């Protein structure tokens, strides 16, 4: 990587971080299927939340 490429990347990162700082949003509730019914993940204990991050999600087609 040349010095100019590095300078360009650093500048682009600064611009993107500035744009990210301007983003306004709201909290999003995440639901997951547990034993056949949907439950909000915010109600889970710390261990279950950690395990949720390690899950692999698959799509099954008919």
Where exactly are the structural domains of the chain? 3-43
Place of tokens 């547990």: 34
Residue 62 has pLDDT above 80, yes or no: no
> Of 34, 27, 28, whose CA–CA distance to 49 is shortest?
34
Beta bridge partners of 33: 38
Q: What is the per-residue pLDDT across 20-44, written as a single tens digit (0 to 9) for each? A: 999 888 888 888 876 778 888 888 8
Instruction: Assess whether pLDDT exceeds 80 at residue 2.
Output: yes
Higher pLDDT: 61 or 10? It is 10
Query: What is the C-alpha to C-alpha distance for residues 26 and 55, in angstroms, rounded to an integer?
Result: 25
Q: Mean pLDDT over residues 33-61, rounded?
A: 82
Is residue 26 helix, strand or coil? coil
Q: At 52, is the secondary structure helix, strand, or coil?
A: helix
Q: How far apart (Å, rounded) are the C-alpha atoms in residues 38 and 29? A: 12
pTM: 0.40
């Amino acid at each position: 990587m040349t010095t100019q490429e590095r300078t360009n990347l650093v500048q682009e990162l600064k611009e993107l971080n500035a744009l990210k700082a301007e983003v306004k949003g709201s909290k999003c509730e995440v639901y997951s299927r547990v034993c056949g019914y949907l439950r909000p993940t915010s109600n889970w204990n710390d261990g279950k939340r950690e395990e949720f991050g390690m899950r692999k999600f698959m799509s099954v087609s008919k």
